[in-house]
Amino acid sequence: MDQARNPMPPAHAPNAGSTTAPSSRASERAAKVDTLTLSLREHGVGFFVPPGATMQSARLVMPYGALISGTFIGDLICEAGSVIITKGGMVCGSIVADRVYIEGDVASSKSKRSLVTGRALVAASSTARINGDLKSAAFAIHKPQLWGQLISVDEPAPKSKPAAEIESAAAKAAQRLTA
């Protein structure tokens, strides 16, 4: 009789602090991860600074792109691929990449003003805070807080490395980390 009055067994009752069933949240997280992985591959990302982490390097030159969700202090030069600075991520220094996407912060050091160079594109969202100059052939600026200037270059962007070559370099870096 109790089951007739309560058609939903207690094990399937939603959590009081949540509006989504646990299995739905897990599949949502899996979908986000799949989308992010596809995006990372698409943008040639082979380097990652996770949230809460700080990496300091005077100058880091890489054959692939970078995803910055933590803090990177120094100059970041990517020979191919994109630099993606997520909301909550920060780069204190200059950046060079095929494409630069900024949702987080770019800060200048006390001794040097930051220069963000996107060979093909520099994009900044409304959440971006940028203390430095942006240089590119194309811009996608969505009302960020910008303390600096836009420098437009007329020269075409050089062709980036083929996707297979970028993926190979990223896979080699991942193997070195897991070895």
**58-99 confidence digits (pLDDT tens):** 899 999 999 999 999 999 999 999 999 999 999 999 999 999
Residue 78: its pLDDT value, please?
Answer: 95
Q: Where are the domains of the chain?
A: 41-178
Look-up: residue for tokens 């052939």?
Answer: 137
Choose among 72, 67, 70, 74: nearest CA to 53: 70
* Tens digit of each residue's pLDDT (9 = 90 or more) over 49-68: 999 999 998 899 999 999 99
- Residue-wise pLDDT for 125-155, tens only, equals 889 999 999 999 999 888 878 888 888 887 6
CB atoms within 10 A of CB 103: 20
- Give residue 117's Cα distance to chain centre: 16
Across the strands, what pairs with 122?
100, 139
pLDDT at 155: 62
What is the pTM (predicted TM-score) of this model?
0.66
Mean per-residue pLDDT over the chain, rounded = 75
CB 141 within 8 Å of CB 123: yes
> pLDDT tens-digit profile of 27-49?
444 444 433 344 677 888 889 99
Residue with the larger pLDDT of the pair 12 and 123: 123
What is the per-residue pLDDT for 151? 84
